[in-house]
Amino acid sequence: MDLFFYNTLTGKKEKFIPINKNEVKMYSCGPTVYSYAHIGNFRTYIFVDSLRRTLEYNGYKMKHVMNITDVGHLTSDADTGEDKMEKAAKKEGKDPYEIAKFYANAFMDDMGKLHIEKPEIITKATDNIPQMIEMVKEIIKNGYGYETSKGIYFDVSKLDKYPVLSNNSIEGQQAGARVEVDKEKRNPFDFALWIKAPENHIMKWDSPWGKSYPGWHIECSAMGRRFLGENFDIHTGGVDHIPVHHENEIAQCKGAFGHNPANFWMHCEFLLVDGGKMSKSLGNIYTISELKEKEIEPLAYKLFCFSSHYRNKLNFTFDGVKASNIALNRIRKGYLAHLNGNDSIEEKEIEEYENRFHNAINDDLNIPLAIGVLWDVIKNEKKSKELADLILRFDKVFGLDLANSEKYLQELNENEEDISVIPEQVLQFANERKIARENKDFQKADLLRKKIEESGYQIKDIAGGDYKIVKL
C-alpha cells in the first residue's frame, strides 16, 4: 500500500519512496533543555511518534536521530539575545551543563509517560562541536561564510534561492523586522554560524575564530550529516521551525555540500490553549506533570492530540482533554471486552477494518480517521479475541499502551475513593474550602486543607474548580 506525506518543501502531498528500499533515515529537531518541555512541544513529538510508528507499520526499519540542544539556541531565533542555556543557568544559580542534564532527563521521562518511541540515536549538541567546526570551515571555503567581530555569518545572497520552505520573501522586508540590524552583516538576513563568546560566557570552545560557540542552526545540520549522511529521507519539526531554523539548515547544507539534505520536510501545527497562543504571561503553559496533577493521564493527552490532523491547529481545553481521559478508559474497557469475548468473526470483516485503518494512516497520517476505525472495532457487538488482536495491531501506531488496559483500570479504581465512606466532617471541610477558594480567601482554604489532612485524608484540586478526596 502506497504512503503519502505532505512535503513542506513542495507544498503538496507526495508519494513516499525512501532512499534505501527497507530503511528510513529521519532527523527530528529535539528540545532545547533549559526548562521543562510543555504540552505544545509534545504535540510535535507525538506527531513524530505517529510518523515513526506508521513507517514501522509499513514494514520499514528506522534510523531516527534526535538532537538535544544544550548550547547555542539564543533567546531569539534570529541570532539575538542570550544563549538560553546560559540564561537558565544564571536564573537557577547552576552550571549550564547541570541545567542541561536535569531538563534532558525530565524530557525523556515525559517521553516515556507518553509512550513515545525513542529514536535510535539521541545526541547532544555539545558532543558534536568538532563536526560543527568542520562544517563552518567548509562553508567559508566554499564562499558562503564570512567573519565579523561578532562571529561567522552565512551570506544568504550567494544562494540561488532563499527562503525555500516558506512563502516568505526577502525582497521588500525591512531589516530589523525579524533580525537584528548589524552594520557588519553583508545582508540583513545573514545568520550566525558561529558566535564569538564574551569573556564571562561559560559554554565556549577553542576554534579557528577564538573562544566561541556554535549557532543553533549549524548544530542540526552537522548532526544530521554525521549520523545520517548528506542525503536522508525525512526532517521533522514544528511549524515554528519553518521560517528561520529549517530555512537556515537548508542554506548551510547547500553552502557546505551543495544541496538540501532531506527529501521530505514535515511540520506539526501549533497547539492553542483556549483559542489563543500559549504564553507565560497568561499562565497557560502546562507540562505533562501539571496535567497529571489535574488528574489527566499523559496518554489521555496523546489521545486528545489525535482528535485533529497534525497539519491543523489544535485547541487545548481542559474540558476537551478530560473528555479524552474518559474516552481512553472506554477504549480500554472495549479492548478487554473483546479480549474476554468468545464470539466468532469473519476474516473478511477484520480485513475491512484493517484496510480502512491502513488507508487512513498512509494518507498523510490521518490519525483522526484511524481513531474512528478503532471506535468502530470497539463498538462491534460481537466480542472477539480476533478483534482484540486487531486493536493491538492498531495500537502499534497509536502507542496508547492498550495491552496494559487492565492495569490502568485497576489503578483507576484503586485511586477513586468511595464518597460514602468519607466522614461527614471531612466532606464539610472540603465544601467550605471550595467556597473559600472561590472567594479568594486562601488563608482559610489552607487551614481547611490542613484539617482534612489531620483527619487522614488529602484533597486534590482538579480542573474547573473541582476537587477529589483520597485517603492518606
Report the CATH number that the domain containing residue 233 is assigned in CATH: 3.40.50.620
Task: Point out the domain boundary residue: 400, 415, 430.
Answer: 415
Q: What pLDDT score was predicted for residue 423?
A: 80
Per-residue pLDDT band for 405 (boundaries 50, 70, 90) equals: very high
Tell me, yes or no, whether 316 and 462 share the same domain: no
Tell me, yes or no, whether 290 and 196 share the same domain: no
User: Which three three-digit cell numbers place residue 35?
Assistant: 526548562
Indicate whether 316 pLDDT > 80: yes
Which DSSP category does 235 fall into?
E
Instruction: Tell me whether residue 119 is in a domain.
Output: yes
Residue spans of beta strands (DSSP E) within 102-253: 121-124, 145-147, 151-154, 191-196, 212-214, 232-238
Torsion (CA) 196, 199, 205, 211 in degrees, nearest 10: 50
Domain count of the fold of the chain: 3
Per-residue pLDDT band for 301 (boundaries 50, 70, 90) equals: very high
Instruction: Tell me whether residue 115 is in a domain.
Output: yes
Q: Name which residue leads in pLDDT, 123 or 427.
A: 123
Indicate whether 159 pLDDT > 90: yes
Indicate whether 174 pLDDT > 50: no
Tell me, yes or no, whether 145 and 166 share the same domain: yes
Q: What pLDDT score was predicted for residue 102?
A: 96
Whole-prediction pTM: 0.86
Tell me, yes or no, whether 109 and 152 share the same domain: yes
Q: What are the distances in angstroms from CA 110 to CA 5, 46, 113, 290, 422?
A: 27, 11, 5, 11, 34
Instruction: Tell me whether residue 274 is in a domain.
Output: no
Question: Span 369-386, mean pLDDT?
Answer: 97
Backbone angles phi, psi at 234, to 5 degrees: -135, 140
Helices (H), 229-366: 247-257, 288-293, 298-305, 318-339, 347-362
Instruction: Tell me whether residue 276 is in a domain.
Output: no
Instruction: Tell me whether residue 77 is in a domain.
Output: yes
Indicate whether 424 pLDDT > 90: no
Instruction: Tell me whether residue 278 is in a domain.
Output: no
Question: Span 340-367, mean pLDDT?
Answer: 97
Q: What pLDDT score was predicted for residue 79?
A: 78
Q: What pLDDT score was predicted for residue 328?
A: 96
Q: Express each pLDDT in 57-96 by its tens digit.
A: 999 999 999 999 999 888 777 777 888 998 898 889 888 9
Indicate whether 133 pLDDT > 90: yes
Tell me, yes or no, whether 151 and 40 share the same domain: yes
Q: Give the 3-state secondary structure of residue 150.
A: coil
Distance of CA 292 to the CA centre of its chain: 17
Indicate whether 172 pLDDT > 90: no
Tell me, yes or no, whether 66 and 94 share the same domain: yes
Tell me, yes or no, whether 46 and 164 share the same domain: yes
Q: What pLDDT score was predicted for residue 414?
A: 65
User: Which three three-digit cell numbers place residue 95?
Assistant: 552550571
Give exposure, 398-431, as e/b (b: 16+ Cβ within 10 Å). bbbebeebeebeeeeeeeeeeeeebeeebeebbe
Instruction: Tell me whether residue 275 is in a domain.
Output: no
Indicate whether 416 pLDDT > 70: no
Task: Point out the domain boundary residue: 372, 393, 415.
Answer: 415
Tell me, yes or no, whether 372 and 411 share the same domain: yes
Question: Span 23-38, mean pLDDT?
Answer: 97
Per-residue pLDDT band for 176 (boundaries 50, 70, 90) equals: very low
Q: Express each pLDDT in 192-246 by its tens digit.
A: 999 999 888 899 999 999 999 999 999 999 999 999 999 999 999 999 999 999 9
Q: Are strands 271-273 and 121-124 parallel, antiparallel or unpaired?
A: unpaired
Average pLDDT, the chain: 91
Instruction: Tell me whether residue 387 is in a domain.
Output: yes
Question: Span 333-352, mean pLDDT?
Answer: 96
Question: Span 374-396, mean pLDDT?
Answer: 97
Q: What pLDDT score was predicted for residue 445?
A: 87
* Least trusted range by pLDDT, from 255-259, 278-282, 405-409, 444-448: 278-282
Tell me, yes or no, whether 59 and 207 share the same domain: yes
Question: Span 160-189, mean pLDDT?
Answer: 69
User: Which three three-digit cell numbers place residue 162?
Assistant: 532563499
DSSP 409-420: HHHHHHH---GG
Question: Span 112-131, mean pLDDT?
Answer: 98
Helices (H), 4-128: 39-57, 84-92, 96-113
The enclosing domain of 356 has a CATH number of 1.10.730
Distance of CA 158 to the CA centre of its chain: 34
DSSP 359-373: HHHHBT--HHHHHHH
Per-residue pLDDT band for 460 (boundaries 50, 70, 90) equals: confident
Tell me, yes or no, whether 227 and 355 share the same domain: no
Indicate whether 117 pLDDT > 70: yes
- Backbone conformation region of residue 334, classed left if phi is above 0, alpha if psi is from -120 to 50, else beta: alpha
Q: What pLDDT score was predicted for residue 467?
A: 74
Indicate whether 426 pLDDT > 50: yes
Residue 245 domain boundaries: 4-268
Q: Express each pLDDT in 263-285 by its tens digit.
A: 999 999 999 998 888 877 777 89
Tell me, yes or no, whether 389 and 443 share the same domain: no
User: Which three three-digit cell numbers place residue 298?
Assistant: 499523559
Q: What pLDDT score was predicted for residue 463?
A: 56
Per-residue pLDDT band for 25 (boundaries 50, 70, 90) equals: very high
3-state SS of the chain: helix, strand, coil percent to 5?
45, 15, 35
Task: Point out the domain boundary residue: 216, 238, 268.
Answer: 268
Q: What pLDDT score was predicted for residue 177?
A: 40
Tell me, yes or no, whether 52 and 191 share the same domain: yes
